[in-house]
Copies of this chain bind each other. A is one copy, B any other.
Amino acid sequence: MTKAERTRQLILEKAAPLFNTKGVAGTSLSDILEVTKLAKGSLYVHFENKEDLAHEVVDYQLDRLANVVETAMSRKKTAKEKLFAYIDLYLDPLNPPIIGGCPLLNFGMEADDTDEVIRKKVHQLVEKAQQNIRSIVERGIETGELKSDWDAKEFATTMFAMVEGGIMMSRIAGNNKAMQVIARSLKNEIEEKVN
Contact = CB atoms under 8 A, between A and B. Distances in A.
B158 A123 contact: no
Given A112-B101, A163-B165, A158 B181 contact: yes
Nearest to A173: B123
Interface string A80-124: 000000000000000000001100111011101110000100110
Interface in A159-195: 160-166, 168-169, 171-174, 178, 181-182, 184-185
Interface stretch (A22-30, A41-49, A50-58, A64-72): A22-30
A185 B109 contact: no
Contacts of A174: 119, 123
A124 B86 CA distance: 29
Range for the number of chain A residues in contact with chain B:
35 or more
Interface string A9-27: 0000000000001110110
The dominant DSSP class at the A interface is helix
A34 interface: no
Interface of A: 21-23, 25-26, 100-101, 104-106, 108-110, 112-114, 119, 122-123, 126-127, 153-154, 157-158, 160-166, 168-169, 171-174, 178, 181-182, 184-185
